[in-house]
């Protein structure tokens, strides 16, 4: 988790009041951070990964002032309409299709501020950008380049520029082969025939997203105007990263100026700091927190968390959420904000009415046992999200679109359905780890979500186990022996393995696994087209078994 060192004097300047280290230690935890260390003139805090807006002195001060009641409600950020234009060339549409930008002027950067800006950038790369895969940020000295800017793809050796922290010119291909950042992140672009570049009016290179900025636009303490760009494969991640960064700089005293972003099919103004609106059922919130807050009291509490709220009906509030609060996704998040604004320290703990002794569920015991068996067989366990999307789950696996449990209001195109199988997630893991050594043997034991055919509006959770083996000699015989070893160690008998056809597997090298009259699983060699869909070069042998019917039997 991100760790931020808050200097007492610097933090005091941001909040507008002189604070002692003891006061910071006393009150900071109530905004939702953990005190990691205290020194004579600093407090080191640990921030939850979903609160990237707290990864700076300015961001923490913004929340702290609200908690203390010194400044409440949504901060107002004025965006001046700018003349800067950013053109998105269609050549990047299949590589990194999204880019948003902003101009920030009147920046005052000392050595501490420059260092903090770089730290914020890396925290956003990790917290939102998923290590630059979904979004990556470029921070540039605007004085060294000329608009309009163009984001385009070029041939690997078509252009030469000096990458950051180097003195000699390199081509994009050389950056991937020789530069430290290029070696670390080349897997994000090296599969493409062309590489993305951001250039100015005179074809000067600002950056090679998502790898490295150019030395030309290096930011130092004398920089007064910044050009910020965020590019990626997920529009929401790009937008959230930019909004978090520009609001942080605005709280540091800078002025925000918009950029006109021209895509091949539309034009938009960036950044867009319009607040999100959600509804809060106050009776539900009070019941969850054990409080009896009135509508007016609840509004005051939410404003202390730098939100805005107004009454919209009986026991109903419309809550406005600032653009930098990317962690507020559900009504229960607003309940948490209500508790923070009210003050956890004011709540009186109570003992439960009844006291019971719990034990691990039988399904949990079976899952742990299966984990031990597969680890003993040389597999490495992974844990994937229960949420996925139709493309990964069905299209890439050569499956017909099923009837999964769908999200009513997905916040990202990457997470639109609940998974009905574990294998697509493991294939995605292999794709993400193509740059690692082989053989790779991965497994997951977890729930899948199925629509119950007897209750159309209801979902059913079922415990599955799936595994993949990937290296040049991965084959049907090996995965069959692994499944047989798993079933034998589980104490099961009289299972049958029978040849079948399945579009995800290679014909003639796929079989079902049955116990009695019930089919419980499938195993085989993954079809070459599926391997191509996940851009995998090595063969993959895989299996998936439904464990739900085995709970309590093995």
Of residues 60, 42, 41, the one with CA closest to residue 2: 60
Q: What is the pLDDT of residues 8-32, one digit of tens each?
A: 999 999 999 999 999 999 999 999 9
- Confidence (pLDDT) at 495: 86
| Stretches in the chain below the pLDDT threshold 70 | 452-458, 552-554
- Confidence (pLDDT) at 12: 95
- Confidence (pLDDT) at 458: 62
- Confidence (pLDDT) at 314: 86
- Residue entry with tokens 């119950």: 452
The CATH number given to 79-270 is 3.50.40.10
Q: In the CATH hierarchy, which fold is given to the domain comprising 3-67?
A: Phenylalanyl-tRNA Synthetase; Chain B, domain 1 (3.30.56)
Distance between CA 173 and CA 421 in Å, rounded? 38
For strand 440-451 and strand 380-381, is the pairing parallel, antiparallel, or unpaired? parallel
- Confidence (pLDDT) at 454: 59
> Do 537 and 434 meet the contact criterion of CB atoms below 8 Å apart?
yes
Check for a shared fold between 3-67 and 276-344. yes
CATH class of domain segment(s) 276-344: alpha beta
- Confidence (pLDDT) at 411: 74
Q: Residue 321's CB: how many other CB atoms inside 10 A?
A: 24
- Residue entry with tokens 């004085």: 143
- Confidence (pLDDT) at 241: 94
Distance between CA 8 and CA 3 in Å, rounded? 16
Q: What is the pLDDT of residues 233-287, one digit of tens each?
A: 999 999 999 999 999 999 999 999 999 999 999 999 999 999 999 999 999 999 9
Domain 362-550, CATH 3.40.1440.10 — does that match?
no
For the chain, the domains span 3-67, 79-270, 276-344, 362-550
- Confidence (pLDDT) at 20: 94
């Amino acid at each position: 988790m991100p760790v931020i060192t808050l200097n007492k004097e610097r933090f005091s300047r941001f909040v507008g009041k002189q604070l002692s280290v003891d006061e910071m230690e006393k009150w900071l935890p109530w905004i939702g951070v953990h005190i990691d260390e205290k020194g004579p003139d600093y407090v080191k805090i640990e921030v939850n990964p979903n609160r990237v807006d707290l990864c700076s002195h300015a961001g923490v001060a913004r929340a702290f002032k609200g908690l203390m009641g010194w400044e409440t409600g949504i901060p107002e950020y004025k965006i001046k309409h700018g003349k800067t234009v950013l053109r998105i060339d269609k050549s990047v549409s299949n590589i990194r299709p999204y880019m948003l930008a902003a101009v920030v002027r009147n920046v005052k950067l000392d050595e501490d501020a420059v260092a903090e800006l770089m730290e914020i950038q890396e925290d956003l790369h990790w917290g939102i950008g998923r290590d630059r895969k979904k979004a990556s940020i470029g921070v540039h000295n605007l004085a060294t380049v000329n608009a309009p800017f163009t984001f385009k793809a070029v041939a690997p050796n078509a252009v030469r520029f000096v990458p950051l922290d180097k003195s000699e010119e390199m081509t994009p291909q050389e950056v991937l082969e020789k530069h430290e950042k290029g070696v670390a992140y080349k897997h994000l672009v090296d599969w493409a025939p062309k590489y993305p570049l951001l250039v100015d009016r005179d074809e000067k290179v600002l950056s090679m997203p998502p790898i490295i900025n150019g030395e030309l636009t290096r930011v130092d303490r004398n920089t007064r105007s910044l050009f910020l760009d965020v590019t990626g494969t997920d529009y929401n991640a790009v937008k959230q990263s930019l909004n978090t960064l520009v609001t942080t700089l605005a709280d540091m005293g800078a002025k925000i100026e918009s950029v006109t972003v021209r895509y091949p099919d539309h034009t938009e103004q960036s950044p867009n700091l319009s607040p999100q609106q959600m509804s809060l059922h106050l009776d539900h919130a009070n019941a969850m927190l054990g409080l009896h807050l009135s509508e007016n009291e609840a509004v005051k509490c939410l404003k202390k968390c730098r939100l805005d709220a107004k009454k919209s009906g009986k026991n109903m509030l419309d809550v406005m959420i600032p653009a930098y609060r990317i962690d507020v996704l559900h009504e229960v998040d607003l309940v948490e904000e209500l508790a923070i604004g009210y003050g956890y320290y004011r709540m009186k703990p109570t003992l439960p009415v009844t006291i019971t002794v719990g034990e691990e569920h039988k399904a949990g015991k079976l899952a742990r046992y299966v984990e031990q068996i597969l680890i003993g067989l040389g597999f490495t366990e992974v844990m994937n999200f229960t949420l996925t999307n139709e493309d990964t789950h069905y299209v890439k696996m050569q499956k017909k679109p099923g009837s999964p449990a769908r999200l009513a209001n997905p916040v990202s195109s990457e997470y639109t359905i609940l998974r009905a199988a574990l294998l697509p997630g493991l294939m995605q893991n292999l794709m993400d780890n193509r740059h690692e050594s082989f053989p790779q043997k991965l497994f997951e034991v977890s729930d899948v979500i199925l629509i119950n055919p007897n209750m159309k509006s209801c979902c059913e959770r079922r415990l599955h186990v799936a595994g993949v083996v990937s290296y040049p000699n991965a084959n049907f015989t090996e995965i069959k022996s692994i499944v047989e070893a798993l079933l034998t160690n589980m104490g099961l008998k009289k299972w049958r393995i029978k040849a079948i056809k399945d579009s995800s597997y290679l014909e003639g090298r796929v079989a079902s696994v049955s116990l009695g009259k019930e089919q419980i699983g499938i195993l085989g060699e993954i079809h070459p087209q599926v391997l191509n869909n996940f851009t995998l070069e090595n063969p993959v042998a895989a299996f998936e078994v439904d464990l739900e019917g085995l709970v309590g039997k093995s």
